[in-house]
Amino acid sequence: MSISAVADEALAFAGPARLPTRWGEFRMYAVSEPHTGKEHAMLVVGDDLDSDEPVLLRVHSECLTGDAFHSRRCDCGDQLERAMAVLAEAGRGVILYLRQEGRGIGLLEKVKAYILQESGLDTLDANLALGHQGDAREYAVCQPMLAYLGVKSVRVLTNNPGKLDALAPWVSVVGRVPFWGEEVTDNAAYLATKQARMGHLPG
């Protein structure tokens, strides 16, 4: 997992715009990185994000197969929906939706990794076999995104301690909310690999 710095170019922000959802109404911002061409999103519920009270935060990396197609090979789509439900119920929180498909390797390579998994490799070994890191995601862009919203401290919805370490240089991480998606037959091996080999914590 990389924690590389964001390039000097300023990010471009648009928003907020209303985003009514089945869980409640969010405010949506679009965020563009000129140096990479990536466009991220911020979903916000509630006010006073710049107060001393920690903000509930979910940092969610794009998973087209899970988020849009509702694949059960992973728990990503379920995590995103649960995060939206939790934040809407709490009445205050932020989702940073980062465009880094397949733990940072992109959709084409992710599908190649799926094929290798169908031949018997686990999710980690499949990425490594293709010449990628086990987790190539970067989180430096979270700093200007959170700063734009005025967020000072957060409680993070995650079971990935590496994500907490990645955020710690830029925002006060005061707590972790255990956070898994639903385990089903099709994603059981994937979830087990994340715990046994990638350091993710149990729910």
Please tell me the number of Cα atoms within 13 Å of 142 on its side-chain side: 34
Q: Say how many C-beta atoms besides its own lie within 10 A of residue 41's C-beta.
A: 19
Say which DSSP state 185 is in. G
Distance between CA atoms of 44 and 96, rounded to whole angstroms? 9
Residue 134: helix, strand or coil by DSSP? coil
99 part of the active site: no
Q: Which of 135, 155, 186, 197 is catalytic?
A: 135
Distance between CA atoms of 183 and 112, rounded to whole angstroms? 23
Q: Which of 137, 155, 176, 197 is catalytic?
A: 137
135 part of the active site: yes
Q: Which residues share a beta bridge with 32?
A: 12, 39
Q: Which residues are catalytic?
A: 135, 137
